[in-house]
Amino acid sequence: MNHMDEGLLQAYADEELAGHARTTVEGHLGTCLSCHAELDELRSASEELTRGLLLLSDPQAEIDQYAVGWPRRPGAKRLTRMAALPRAAVLVLALGTAAAAMIPGSPVYRLINPAPRAAQVESAAPPSAAQPIATSTAAAAAAAPAEAGVSIEPLNGEVRVVLRAGSELRVRASIASSPRAGVFATGAAAQARFDASPGRIEVTGAESGDLRIEMPRGAVTTVMVNGRDYLRSTDGEIQLFAPADSRADAEVTFHP
């Protein structure tokens, strides 16, 4: 088996791959521990850089971050995410052009490619949901949009996510190692409207389905739901202002 070269893995980690290239890497990662390890190393280095740069820009703020125990030894906590990958290899979701068209030409640098979320969608979606999960690349080409989303970079270290959402919506907000903040919708929520501007993502009309919010560890992210502050992540810690369905260290799920 040919291993993936570091450049390809890096491009995968940075969400620069789409379509066939992405599924090829994912398929390989699902079976190859050595490439997993390589990807982990790249991600650790990336986290180390992000953390270091934050420190340079704001030495004082970082002292608190230290106190809450940001992992100093990189790589120790990364396995959970990777463990979900093997099944993703056979699941391909199609991203519709309709979703792309809803996003205005503001500082949205990319539309997130749906493939990497496949494993999560698989476990989260009820079997009957009108969610086009295709089981082969060929079938995926004909499928309707199943995931839409935007990502932005924080503005002055801050991100605001504003949701106008129905109570049928499931929201999962988690701390992510990426320097960018993102909101990704699957199922019916993929039809919602996404607007992005510097430091701010607005999602309107997400009535049901699943929404995932990625909050960069290095930024302060405030999530506002239907007009009130719902939660805030600061230095990798999540502070809740409203009831949640479940909460773990770096992740909260709730219904608006």
Partner 1 sequence: MRAFTLSESDSRTGSFSSVYRTLHPSLLRYLERLTGEKDAAEDVAQEAFMRLLQRPELTDEAARLWLFTVATNLVRDRGRAATRQSRLLKTSPVPIPTSEPLPDAVAERADEVARVRRALDLLSERDRQILLMRQEGFRYGEIAQSVDVSASSVGTLIARALKRFASAYRTGEVS
Q: Does 168 bind partner 1 (CB under 8 A)?
A: no
List, in order, residues 6 or more apart from 26 with CB less than 8 Å away. 12, 85, 88, 89, 115, 116
66's contact among partner 1, Zn ion, none, with CB below 5 to 8 A by partner kind, is partner 1
Q: Does 3 bind Zn ion (CB under 5 A)?
A: yes
Q: Please identify, using beta-carbon distances, which residue of 74 and 187 lies nearer to partner 1.
A: 74
Which backbone phi and psi does 54 adopt, to 5 degrees? -60, -40
Interface of this chain with Zn ion, residues 79 to 138, rule: CB under 5 A: none
Q: Does 35 bind Zn ion (CB under 5 A)?
A: yes
198's contact among partner 1, Zn ion, none, with CB below 5 to 8 A by partner kind, is partner 1
- Give the separation between CA 220 and CA 28, rounded to whole angstroms: 35
Residue of the chain from 3, 31, 37, 57 that contacts partner 1 (CB under 8 A)? 57
Q: How far is the CB of 21 from partner 1 (least distance, A)?
A: 11
Q: How far is the CB of 224 from partner 1 (least distance, A)?
A: 21
Q: Are 174 and 212 in contact (CB under 8 A)?
A: yes
153's contact among Zn ion, partner 1, none, with CB below 5 to 8 A by partner kind, is partner 1
List, in order, residues 6 or more apart from 67 with CB less than 8 Å away. none
Q: Does 39 bind Zn ion (CB under 5 A)?
A: no
Q: Does 127 bind partner 1 (CB under 8 A)?
A: no
Buried b (16+ CB within 10 A) or exposed e, 92-113: bbbbbeebeebbeeeebebbbb
Q: Does 69 bind partner 1 (CB under 8 A)?
A: no
Q: Does 49 bind partner 1 (CB under 8 A)?
A: yes
Q: Please identify, using beta-carbon distances, which residue of 63 and 83 lies nearer to partner 1.
A: 63
List, as one string, the DSSP characters of 148-212: EEEEE--BTTEEEEEEEEEEEEEEEEEEESSSSEEEEEEGGGGGSEEEEETTEEEEEEEEEEEEE
Q: Are 152 and 108 in contact (CB under 8 A)?
A: yes
Residue of the chain from 1, 33, 67, 101 that contacts partner 1 (CB under 8 A)? 67
Q: How far is the CB of 1 from Zn ion (least distance, A)?
A: 6
3's contact among Zn ion, partner 1, none, with CB below 5 to 8 A by partner kind, is Zn ion
Instruction: Find, among 129, 147, 144, 133, the residue nearest to 184 by Cα.
Output: 147
DSSP 8-state code for residue 134: B
Instruction: Find, among 253, 77, 69, 98, the residue nearest to 172 by Cα.
Output: 253
Q: Does 155 bind partner 1 (CB under 8 A)?
A: yes
Interacting residues toward Zn ion by CB under 5 A: 3, 32, 34-35
Residue numbers of the site for partner 1 (CB under 8 A)?
A: 5-11, 14, 16, 41-42, 44-46, 48-50, 52-53, 55-57, 59-60, 62-63, 66-67, 74, 105, 107, 109-110, 152-153, 155-156, 179-180, 198
